Amino acid sequence: MCHRLLSSGIFGTDMSAESTPSYLLIHFSGPDRPGLTADLTHVLAAHDVNILDIGQAVVHETLALGILIEIPASKSVTSLKITLTEHARDLRLEPSFSAVSQESLERWLHDSYQPHFLITILGRTVTARHLARVSAILAAHAFNVYRIEPLTQHIASDIAANACIEISASGDLSREAAMRAEFTAAAEELSVDIAFQHESIFRRNRRLFAFDMDSTLIQGEVIDELARMAGVGDEVVKITEAAMRGELNFDESFTRRVSLLKGLPAERVYTLLDAIPLTEGAERLIRTLRRLGYKTAILSGGFKFFANHLQQKLGIDYVYANDLEIIDGTVTGRVIPPIVNGERKAALLKEIAGRESISLEQVVAVGDGANDIPMLSVAGMGIAYRAKPRVRQQASQSISWLGLDGLLYLIGVRDRDLRASEATESK
């Protein structure tokens, strides 16, 4: 249930012996139908109660409704219980009542001010085993779970392309680093993604998504494909491996790789535009972000001719990538400076955010390689997408098992929201 303080009555009430209110936690369960909440709260209204907290959920057409109320001293608790019991049973609901002490109320209010977190389990299916492991980690760190909600219609079914459960919990902020490490280990063992976020005003108020291109928005590396065309694929692979070993920085490795493309005809270069497919879920993600009013950007260490193609295809707002020099219809083997390396990606991200008057906390950056780490680090949410181990370790979130549209769950978008949006768009 979702805890919300709906009244400050517990501290604004005269607690003298002559006017001491009573506090009652009421649960209703039974078959759901329209109008139940209205019927029950009508009875409560007739007894002048204050609602301090309320939560309602429907699981497989069965209602679970909990209400914490403050009953004025002038009203009879027994009379209220009798009336509610009779009314609830007429509605085919089963009520239960628990008296709540002042001490319990104050403890609840104190706990409500603890840091709140969102734990999101994402995969092709989410099973009891996954939920048991995550909840065990939360329990081991004394975190209290107060809401569990599926963001997809099906969480363990062959008919579900994606499966996602979101858990809201509160606990000690000092436990965050240890819990993140345990969630990372559990995700690798269970072949799911587990995201751990602070619940804040920024979570549902992101405004800019910035993407790496190669092996993030598209399923491959443009430079590798060009190298194969030029018959220098093996040489390019060796340079890439040297860079990964730390023997070359990005600028050096990129410059050497591009130099091997010298003499490649431009018409062959442009055949790649329709040869490298988009990553699964990319079109749906960008389409949804545009519909929701997000700005989007490609910040790529790859080539601008391909990034411009994606900009036109997907409707991307900003594109920054490297200019492959072509003169007289032939690749020269040079890149027109400046090279878009990791540091430049981070600087460009800050520049775009400033131009759009967007806080960096409202920025999501997505990438897969070491060259993306600087921009992932400055963004409010940095997501390592199907990334190399080093990148996954340094990013705040990591997604490996879903398509790019799975990122929408991390900003709180539900499948039903997507279906409604897509149905409206198709009209």
CA 325/CA 221 separation, integer angstroms: 18
- Residue 147: CB partners within 8 Å, gap ≥ 6? 1, 2, 55, 166, 167, 168
Q: In this structure, is residue 9 part of a structural domain? A: no
pTM across the whole model: 0.85
CA 1/CA 94 separation, integer angstroms: 18
Q: In this structure, is residue 219 part of a structural domain? A: yes
Angstrom distances, CA of residue 419 to CA of 122, 284, 408: 19, 11, 13
Residues 413 and 289 in one domain: yes
Question: Count of CB atoms within 10 A of residue 203's CB?
Answer: 16
Q: In this structure, is residue 407 part of a structural domain? A: yes
Q: Is the torsion defined by CA of 212, 381, 424, 32 positive or negative?
A: positive
Q: In this structure, is residue 358 part of a structural domain? A: yes
Boundary of a domain, candidates 77, 110, 143: 110
What's the mean pLDDT in 53-62? 92
Residues 294 and 414 in one domain: yes
- pLDDT tens digit sequence for 308-321: 999 999 999 999 99
Is residue 280 very low, low, confident or very high in pLDDT (cuts 50, 70, 90)? Answer: very high
Boundary of a domain, candidates 110, 136, 168: 110
CA 276/CA 215 separation, integer angstroms: 10
Residues 58 and 130 in one domain: no
CA 84/CA 247 separation, integer angstroms: 75
Residue with tokens 């131009």: 355
- Residue 410: CB partners within 8 Å, gap ≥ 6? 120, 195, 197, 364, 381, 383, 397, 399
Strands (E), 82-192: 94-99, 116-123, 144-150, 163-170
Residues 353 and 299 in one domain: yes
What's the mean pLDDT in 101-114? 82
Residues 272 and 185 in one domain: no
Q: What is the pLDDT of residue 405?
A: 95
- pLDDT tens digit sequence for 65-84: 999 999 999 999 999 999 99
Residues 77 and 181 in one domain: no
- The count of structural domains within the chain is 3
Angle (nearest 5°) at CA 203 between 199 and 206: 165
Give the CATH number for residue 386: 3.40.50.1000
- pLDDT tens digit sequence for 149-203: 999 987 765 545 799 999 999 999 999 999 999 999 999 999 999 999 998 888 7
> What radius of gyration do the chain's Cα atoms show?
27
Active-site pick, 32, 53, 193, 214: 214
Q: In this structure, is residue 184 part of a structural domain? A: yes
CA 119/CA 164 separation, integer angstroms: 10
- pLDDT tens digit sequence for 329-354: 999 999 999 999 999 999 999 999 99
Judged by average pLDDT, the poorest of 73-87, 280-294, 407-421 is 407-421
What's the mean pLDDT in 115-140? 95
> CA neighbours within 13 Å on the CB side: how many for 280?
10
Residues 231 and 302 in one domain: yes
Residues 90 and 29 in one domain: yes
pLDDT above 90 coverage of the chain, percent: 79
Q: In this structure, is residue 47 part of a structural domain? A: yes
> Quick check: helix, strand or coil at residue 170?
strand
Residues 341 and 252 in one domain: yes
Is residue 426 very low, low, confident or very high in pLDDT (cuts 50, 70, 90)? Answer: low
Give the CATH number for residue 74: 3.30.70.260
Q: What is the pLDDT of residue 201?
A: 82
Boundary of a domain, candidates 157, 172, 198: 198
Active-site pick, 32, 53, 193, 212: 212
Residues 248 and 231 in one domain: yes
Q: What is the DSSP string of 200-221?
A: -TTTT---EEEE--BTTTBSS-
User: Across the beta sheet with 397-399, what order do the strands follow?
Assistant: 330-336, 318-327, 295-303, 208-211, 363-367, 381-385, 397-399
Q: In this structure, is residue 187 part of a structural domain? A: yes
Residue with tokens 């506090």: 23
Q: In this structure, is residue 393 part of a structural domain? A: yes
The amino acid that residue 358 corresponds to is: I
Is 214 a catalytic site residue? yes
Domain around 60: 23-110
Residues 89 and 176 in one domain: no
Q: Is the torsion defined by CA of 212, 216, 219, 221 positive or negative?
A: positive
Q: What is the pLDDT of residue 17?
A: 40
Is 212 a catalytic site residue? yes
Residues 386 and 279 in one domain: yes
